[in-house]
């Protein structure tokens, strides 16, 4: 279980956090004891989506899946596009296209548009619904993030191959979420991340 003030791991018999000194409430003990995920579940506060980032997450040597990073004012949510979910979404959209009666080429274009804008659905989807989509999906409050490294994608040349963009989310409990992306440098992205996480952001062009 974790301190609700700073996110430091604490033992079940502790009355105070050894990192920040905050008192461990009985409610926190009950909530944390029922949570098996390494990320604690905070109370619902602001639910305004600030930015959605598309990234790739490496699960194993040959298993890389799309992961959407949904940033709110006080937390971020990781939404994974697993093969099972992708298959189900394809089937659902294909059925809609077939029912509409449009031709093959228009149907193919509609499917491409659907996937190009797929992440937009998370702008209005409640967080509990996002978490229920896939067992890997997770909610991370910003007070559990000790550092967020964002390195922008840079295209190279024949002598200097592409340098992939990365986002590493280091948590106060020692876990690190490692993601790759193809997002080029943007002052607005840098400003957005810094406005949410302040000095904990390590931004590299």
Q: Range with the lowest mean pLDDT among 87-101, 130-144, 146-160, 168-182?
A: 146-160
Cα dist. 67→2, 46, 98, 119, 160 in Å? 25, 22, 28, 10, 27
pLDDT at 173 > cutoff 80: yes
**pLDDT for the residue 6:** 53
Cα dist. 64→22, 70, 171 in Å? 40, 19, 22
* 8 A C-beta contact, residue 183 and residue 192: no
Look at strands 145-151 and 63-72 and give their pairing: unpaired
**pLDDT for the residue 21:** 54
CA distance 133 to 129: 6
**pLDDT for the residue 176:** 96
Q: What is the dihedral of CA 192, 195, 198, 204, to 10 degrees?
A: 20
CA distance 107 to 160: 40
**pLDDT tens-digit readout, 20-75:** 555 665 444 444 433 334 444 444 444 789 999 999 999 888 889 999 999 999 99
Look at strands 201-204 and 176-181 and give their pairing: unpaired
């Amino acid at each position: 279980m974790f301190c609700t003030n700073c996110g430091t791991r604490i033992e079940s018999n502790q009355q105070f956090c050894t990192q920040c000194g905050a008192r461990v409430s009985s409610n926190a003990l009950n909530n944390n004891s029922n949570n098996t995920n390494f990320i604690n579940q905070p109370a619902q506060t602001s639910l305004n989506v600030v930015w959605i980032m598309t990234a790739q997450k490496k699960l194993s040597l040959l298993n890389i899946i799309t992961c959407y990073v949904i940033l709110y004012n006080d937390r971020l949510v990781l939404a994974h596009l697993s093969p099972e979910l992708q298959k189900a979404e394809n089937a659902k959209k294909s059925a809609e296209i077939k029912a509409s009666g449009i031709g093959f080429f228009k149907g193919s274009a509609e499917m491409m548009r659907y996937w190009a804008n797929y992440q937009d659905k998370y702008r209005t989807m409640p967080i509990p619904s996002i978490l229920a989509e896939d067992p890997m999906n997770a909610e991370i409050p910003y007070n559990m993030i000790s550092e967020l490294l964002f390195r922008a994608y840079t295209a190279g040349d024949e002598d200097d191959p592409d340098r992939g963009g990365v986002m590493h989310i280091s948590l106060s409990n020692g876990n690190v979420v490692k993601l790759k992306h193809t997002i080029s440098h943007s002052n607005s992205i840098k400003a957005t991340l810094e406005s949410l996480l302040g000095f904990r952001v390590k931004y590299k062009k």
